[in-house]
A and B are shown apart, each in its own frame.
Chain A
Amino acid sequence: MEDVICLAIETSCDETSMSLVKNGVEDLATVVFSQIDIHKAFGGVVPEIASRSHIESITYVLDELFRKTAVTLDDVDIIGVTYGPGLIGSLLIGVQVAKTISLITNKPLIPVHHIAGHIYANNLENRLKFPLIALVVSGGHTDLIYMKKDYSFERIGSTLDDAVGEAYDKVAKVLGLSYPGGPKIDDLSIKGEDTYNLPYPLDDDSYNFSFSGLKSAVLNTVNKEKQKHHEIRVADMCCSFQNRVVEILTKKTMRAISEYKVKNLIVAGGVSANNGLRHKFSILCKENKIKLSIPKTKYCTDNATMIGAAAYYAYKNNIIADLSLNAKAVDNLYNDEILQPK
């Protein structure tokens, strides 16, 4: 079979990333320009500033990408791009770049769902084995997905309010930890004890999640303690919060694994770098003889390599867009007609 080289583009949030990926599994070259230092000053991603920054970096990122490899634009077979979900102003830039490259090269344009990218990041190290359950956890997503075969996604649960990473960042802010606060909570929670009486968020029979109640409970506790002039034990609060999050994520995921009778679990997205979550899943998967895959940290956060990994399978499934492809901010995409084979 002939090799397929994908030029992949990801601009759904605050990373301008492009990558060249061969056959959906081999990372030939990747460039990630992170805007994190720009947004730090604002305590979170500012959409208008993210869009402005993307447009300033696109040609630099292209330039650096082709400097890193002997592959040229003529060698590229398909153009893969994240078309959603994400920040609309940011997505739009990647989509225009991808469409322009598709026009210039006359090569197929492959629309990639951001979550599909996170899942396929695993393919860069170990081939996905089906059927599987995937838990995608990041600053924008908390999705539980059942995959029967390659490039078939059935979302069985999702967050009803905040994404888990978003809850982490907001709790970190309340505790006076700088952005991005997720990793800081993770680090501090090891040093603390689970002493605060926080609720288990949406501990029900569904596969959905809810983190805003837990976040509010942290906020209320902090405010009450302040009123009483008590000091907040930050590490203990981090530990209590993280324990609730990890408990509910692992509990519902393990139940899905058992109900769907799968032997493979994928954990992906930025929050899959969380040590508490990794640790708990590795114990549970060992106990239950489940094969656990978590991508390398560099493929957990947003990057175009994972988009190239997914684009290959989308292409094999004949999912091809024309030049009228638009970006989509909202996540109604699992049933999106764009993802249907032509």
Chain B
Amino acid sequence: MITLYIDTSMDDLTICLLKDEKILSKKTRKCKNEHSVYTVSYIKDVLDEVSMQPNDVDTIMVVNGPGSFTGLRIGVSVAKTYGYLLKKKVILVSSLRQMAISVKNQIAISLIDAKNGNYYMGIYDMFDNDVKYEKFASKDEVILQIEKYEDAKLISNKKFKIDDYEVEKVELDIEQIVDYYKNENPTNIHDIKPNYLKLPQVLEARE
């Protein structure tokens, strides 16, 4: 089975082609506000590198959030269009969960900076597969959870401190991620949208 993995959720753009759970080709770059330029070109590059055609892909896995709104929309619009026109399965990957999968700790708290002292937070217990939860949280809420789950590993896409707690940077293990998600049910293509975890400002103001 050939999987095309697309992650445009954060500053690191990653496009990867896998056969079963083994990476065939991969392109990645630091990409501040340039996902629009590189995403489709990189898909062509990873296919060309192993002399494959777009139609050789069986499944698209796209990271649909949370993360940069614009970034998410770029990955999701490409995955939707590709999946719809070539009738491919599209599986949605959580940006928070994929970090937890990559560290292989029993309990992990994944954090993504959501600006202004807020975070996207996911709490996972890898032994029982339940998502404890994924949400948009204030710093105080995050600290509350850190204190509650003492054994949890604190992880993010970059290294930083939240009060005195060290948050580790995670290198994504795409083979593990694809292995984890391979049996997920594909989502109906028309229903696919970014998982923003946060309302547009104008709606927040109304709440």
Enumerate chain A interface residues (CB-CB to B < 8 A). 42, 46, 48-49, 51-52, 55-56, 58-60, 62-63, 73, 89, 92-93, 95-97, 99-104, 322-327
Contacts and interface: CB of A to CB of B under 8 A. Distances in A.
A100 B36 contact: no
Lowest 10 A-B CB distances belong to which pairs? Answer: A48-B200, A99-B40, A100-B81, A96-B77, A323-B41, A59-B84, A323-B40, A97-B81, A104-B54, A100-B78
Contacts of B70: 51, 89, 92
Q: For the side of the interface on B, what is the size category? A: 20 to 34
Given A89-B73, A99-B40, 9 more contacts: A46-B200, A52-B73, A55-B77, A92-B36, A95-B36, A104-B55, A323-B40, A323-B41, A327-B36
Nearest to A56: B193
Q: Is the interface of A mostly helix, strand, loop or mixed?
A: helix
Interface string B55-80: 10000000000000110011011101
Contacts of B81: 58-59, 62, 96-97, 100-101, 104
B190 interface: yes
Nearest to A9: B81
Contact of A59 (B37, B86, B189): B189
B73 A101 contact: no
B112 interface: no
Nearest to B191: A56
B74 A96 contact: yes
20 contacts: A42-B202, A49-B202, A51-B69, A51-B70, A51-B73, A55-B80, A58-B81, A59-B80, A59-B189, A60-B190, A62-B85, A63-B84, A92-B36, A93-B77, A97-B77, A100-B40, A104-B85, A323-B40, A323-B44, A324-B38
A100 B82 contact: yes
B47 to A, nearest CB: 9
Given A51-B69, A96-B40, A324-B37, A59 B200 contact: no
A151 to B, nearest CB: 25
B122 interface: no
B116 interface: no
Nearest to A46: B202
B126 to A, nearest CB: 31
A15 B38 CA distance: 25
B51 interface: no
B85 A324 contact: no
B62 to A, nearest CB: 12
A103 B84 contact: no
Contacts of A326: 34, 36-37
B14 interface: no
Contacts of B36: 92, 95-96, 326-327
A315 B74 CA distance: 26
Contacts of B38: 324
A88 to B, nearest CB: 8
B49 to A, nearest CB: 15
B170 to A, nearest CB: 27
B199 to A, nearest CB: 9
A296 B1 CA distance: 50
Given A55-B193, A324-B41, A104 B73 contact: no
Contacts of A58: 77, 80-81
Nearest to B196: A52
Contacts of A92: 36, 70, 73-74, 77
A33 to B, nearest CB: 13
A97 B80 CA distance: 9
B55 to A, nearest CB: 8
A238 B41 CA distance: 51
B17 interface: no
**Residue from B44, B70, B80 whose CB has the most chain A CB atoms within 10 Å:** B80
B196 to A, nearest CB: 8
Contacts of A100: 40, 77-78, 81-82, 85
